[in-house]
Structure 1
Amino acid sequence: MNPFVDIILRSCTVYFFMVLALRVFGKRELSQLNSADIVLILLISNSVQNAMVGSNTSLEGGILAALALFVINYLFKRWINQSKTVKDWVLSKPQVLIHNGNVEFKTLAKLGITSEELDEAIREHGVESHKNVKLAMFEIDGNISIISGDNNLKQTHHKRKIHKTLNEL
């Protein structure tokens, strides 16, 4: 087999394996990465490098592997946007966190969101308490959207992140 075709096939195989692994083991958005997630990504990238290029350590091999990843990512995103089945399987759906002041604790637990993180998002939206929230949604991009009953408040969005002081505990 042509070594360049081999690199393309290996790169595509690794790409789809990583998509599947992220689907099975959790899909955190970049705004949600903590130190352990970053270390995992770096280690995974190092571990799959040889699987993509094999013994070919040439510049051409590296560029071809990167190009194959860009192309397969572009095509996969188009497929996601064109197929409802694939979109439903790959992308999560928005989740209700608070409805009419009632916190959905089961949903918080399922998503791994602490009450403190939810309270922080509520405060960042200028709302005093979860009792004043008409609707809080965990969006597919990792944002927590808050809609309050107060028409005078400016609505913002909250990127879920781990606060520095919480990391030190």
Structure 2
Amino acid sequence: MIRINIICIGKIKEKYFTDAISEYAKRLTAFCKFAVVELAEEKIRNNNPNEAEISEVIEAEGERILKKIGAGDYAVAMCIEGKQLSSEELSAMLDNAAITGKSTVDFIIGGSYGLSNKVKNRADFKLSMSKMTFPHQMARMVLSEQIYRAFEISTNGKYHK
């Protein structure tokens, strides 16, 4: 059974987001081993950081993310410059990862300042949810739903119509 990880920076505080993600995690047990790996947000010293401070944060968070990605994992960086996929295309991407022998797919959501270039360079695929910007908590919930939908599509389930 394939393993799907969402590797992300920060914790979700809003109960409605955690409840929704928990529901999709429960549904996903029929298709995969699903986990959300939350990594600590890098603390910034002031409320108006300069470029150097922001770069430090991105790099420190990136190093922690890279430690969670296995050498043979299929890594998907969630970033605005990534490619937008339909639900069917996401389903095909997950199917293809499994067919080509990948036992783990990692979806990576960075912190509030984004992902480091090292993480993006490690990624096998860069995925954008939209040209719009979403709060990271919402992105995590929507991604969880889309992963569930992708498995439903590949198994001809009733959820996706």
Q: Same fold (TM over 0.5)?
A: no
TM-score (norm 1): 0.26
TM-score if structure 2 supplies the norm length? 0.26
Larger fraction in helix: 1
Q: Decide which structure has greater strand share.
A: 2
Greater relative contact order (Cα < 8 A, sep 6+): 2
Highest CA radius of gyration, 1 or 2?
1
